[in-house]
Amino acid sequence: MPAGHVDQGHPVEYNSPPDLLNSGADAPAWNHDDGHDSGHDAAWDRVALRMRRDIGEAAWRNWIKPLRFGRLEDGTLTLEASSTLARERVTSQYADRLRVISAAEFGSVRKVAISLSKQQPPRMSQQQATQKRAAAKDAARSEGDPIGAGLDPRYTFANFIVGKPNELAFAVARRTAESASVAFNPLFLYGGVGLGKTHLMHAIAWHIREQDPSRHVVYLSAEKFMYRFVQALRFRDTMSFKEQFRSVDVLMIDDVQFISGKDS
pLDDT in tens, 138-166: 544 444 444 555 788 899 999 999 999 99
Distance (Å, whole) CA 223 – CA 121 = 44
pLDDT at 27 over 80: no
Distance (Å, whole) CA 260 – CA 138 = 36
- The reported pTM is 0.46
Q: Domains in the chain, start-ordered, CATH in brackets?
A: 3-10+147-258 (3.40.50.300), 31-116 (3.30.300.180)
How many other CB atoms are found less than 10 A from the CB of residue 20?
15
- pLDDT tens, position by position, 45-76: 999 999 888 888 888 888 899 999 999 988 89
Distance (Å, whole) CA 219 – CA 151 = 8
**Could you tell me which of 67, 48, 51 has the C-alpha nearest to residue 113?**
67
Q: What one-letter code names the amino acid at 62? A: N
Q: What one-letter code names the amino acid at 218? A: V
pLDDT at 109 over 60: yes
Mean residue pLDDT of the chain comes to 75
- What is the mean predicted confidence (pLDDT) over 24-42? 53
- What is the mean predicted confidence (pLDDT) over 83-93? 84
First to last CA, the chain: 20
How many other CB atoms are found less than 10 A from the CB of residue 156?
17
